[in-house]
Every structure is written in C-alpha cells, then in structure tokens.
Chain A
Amino acid sequence: MVAFVQSFSQSRSQILSITFAALLGLLVIYVAGHSQSHILHDAAHDVRHATGFPCH
C-alpha cells in the first residue's frame, strides 16, 4: 500500500513537471512568436512570417 502511494505520488509529480515544461514551451512560443508588443513584433517580424505565425 505504501509502495503504491509512493509510486502514485511520484508519477503525479512527474506529470506535473511535464505539464509545467510544456506550459513554459507554450509561453515562450507566445511571447516570442505571437505577442503584439511593438518591440517584440518588430524584432521577431521575419521569423514570425517564415514560421507561419499570424503576424499583423
């Protein structure tokens, strides 16, 4: 029972880690590729077009 609870909480924390890493990836893609801040937009302009992100 103890082993079961340990393995359950271990896999839960692993799933949480994976979820956070994926959310961080989404955040990076949003800020660098989709944020409409003028500075970010101008700096990343060509990459946004070449990567197929909605730009303007």
Chain B
Amino acid sequence: MFFRILVSGLFAGSLGGLMAGLLQWYFVQPVLLHSELYETGILKHFGEFTNGPQQSLDTLQPIRDGLSLLFSMIIYIGYAFLLISAMTLRLQTSSDRITFHQGIVWGIIGYIAVHLAPAISLPPEVPGVAAAEVQSRQIWWFTTVFLSVIGIWLIAFKPKIKYFFIGSALIIAPHIFGAPEPDVFTGPAPTEIGALFASRALGIGLVSWAILGGLSAFFLHKETVRTAS
C-alpha cells in the first residue's frame, strides 16, 4: 500500500510538477522578474520609466529556470503523496476506482484546500513585499491547510448536516483568527504587478492541481492493477 502510493505519487507528481513548472515559467516568472526590477531599484514606482506588466523572457537564465523546474517537480511530488493518500483512504470505504476525470475534480478540491485556502489571507507575494516574520506565517500556512483539508473532507464525505457546519467552521476559523501581517507596508512594486502576480500564481496553481489530480488517479489505478495481479 505504502509503495503503491509512493510509486504513483512519484510519476504523477513529477509529470504534474513539470507541467506546473513550465506554466509558471511562461505565465508567472515574467511578472516576478518585473517586480524584482522594483525590488532592486532599477525601476521605481511612480518613476519616469514605465514598463508593461509582461516583462519579456528574452533573458533566459538556464540555472535559475532549471532549478525552478526541478523544485516545482519536487513540491508537486509532495502534493501527489498527500492527494493519493487521501484518494487511497477514500477507497478503503468505497470499492469504486477513481477515474482520470474524477481525479481532476479531486485535484481541484486539493487545490482549494492546500493552495487557495491559505492564499485567501496570505496571498502569493512578489519578491520584496513587506511581510510578517516567516516562521509565524509558515505555522499559520500549515495550520490553515490542515484545517481546510479536514473541513473539506467532513463536508464531502460525512452526510450528516452537523458535519457541514463543523467543516465550514474549520475552514473559516484561521481566517477569522487572521494571518500574521507586517507592521508597515513597504513593498516597492506597483500594486498592479502584485495583483497580476497573485492572480497568475493562483490561476496556474488551479490548472496544475487539476492536471495533478487526473494523473494521480490514473497512476494510482495503474499501480493498483499492477500490484494486484
């Protein structure tokens, strides 16, 4: 069982992470590079030099971009282990297989729990923004993901109405408690770039998780059939 999750997670995560990395490189990286020009002071907000939100990609940086692709694959392997563990847990009480298309829905729900939920109070940041101390944000991030996963699981798989309310309360609690915030806002990049970055990061995350979900279901089924025979 453990190796089934491991093997299918490695396949689904590396393929899904590769797709995510390429999408991020094309859609998110140009916005990040643009905001770095403000972080380093080459461009100034309200300065005389202006530039569209799409910084051109003609300066390829093979080592930096290669590392980003590699780490995207590693992180998505971690996501795949979580997602396939959840799928396997569900399959303990339901004999059906999860199809590729159902896997896409699992992926989207996984995205809501792990990616979107923490971003609602702790949005994706362009480099250089002011933020509270990193450890406190990380603790808040992991707590929010944990509560959101439990909350969504209760809503999805426990039919009694009380679990709907308990699940909803768990999902909303960290946002009522509030994410750590900085004392002052000193971000040098224009808000337009920050907003574009956040929505691109979330949009690409959604597509990547949908792909990851489909692949996870596909490889989990393949591994289940292979190890059963």
Residues of B within 8 A of A55 (CB): 125, 127, 134
- Nearest Cβ on chain B to A21's Cβ, whole angstroms: 4
- Nearest Cβ on chain B to A27's Cβ, whole angstroms: 8
Which positions 58-107 of chain B face chain A at CB distance < 8 Å?
A: 64, 67-68, 70-72, 74-75, 77-82, 84-86, 88-89, 92
Which positions 109-156 of chain B face chain A at CB distance < 8 Å?
A: 115, 118-119, 122-127, 131, 134, 137-138, 141
Separation of A47 and B204 alpha carbons in the complex (Å): 12
Evaluate whether A47 and B131 lie within 8 angstroms (CB atoms) in the complex, with A17-B1, A25-B82 already known. Answer: no
Separation of A56 and B28 alpha carbons in the complex (Å): 18
Q: Across the A-B interface, how many residue pairs have beta carbons closer than 8 Å?
A: 127
Supply 15 further A-B pairs (C-beta < 8 A) apart from A25-B85, A51-B201, A56-B131.
Answer: A17-B1, A18-B89, A27-B78, A28-B81, A29-B78, A29-B79, A44-B68, A44-B71, A44-B75, A49-B125, A51-B124, A52-B125, A52-B201, A55-B127, A56-B134
> Chain A residues in contact with chain B, CB under 8 A?
11, 13-15, 17-22, 24-29, 32-34, 36, 43-47, 49-56
Secondary structure at the A interface, as helix, strand, loop or mixed, is helix
Evaluate whether A11 and B71 lie within 8 angstroms (CB atoms) in the complex, with A21-B5, A55-B134, A56-B131 already known. Answer: no
How many B residues are at the interface, by size bracket? Answer: 35 or more
Please name the residue on chain B nearest to A53 by beta carbon: B141
Whether A25 and B2, one on each chain, are in contact in the complex, defined by CB atoms closer than 8 angstroms, is: no
Evaluate whether A22 and B85 lie within 8 angstroms (CB atoms) in the complex, with A44-B71, A51-B205, A52-B205 already known. Answer: yes
Whether A50 and B5, one on each chain, are in contact in the complex, defined by CB atoms closer than 8 angstroms, is: no
Whether B202 and A28, one on each chain, are in contact in the complex, defined by CB atoms closer than 8 angstroms, is: no
- Bitwise interface map of B from 1 to 35 toward A, beta carbon under 8 Å scored 1, else 0: 11001100100000000000100100011001000
Whether A49 and B134, one on each chain, are in contact in the complex, defined by CB atoms closer than 8 angstroms, is: no
- Nearest Cβ on chain B to A24's Cβ, whole angstroms: 5
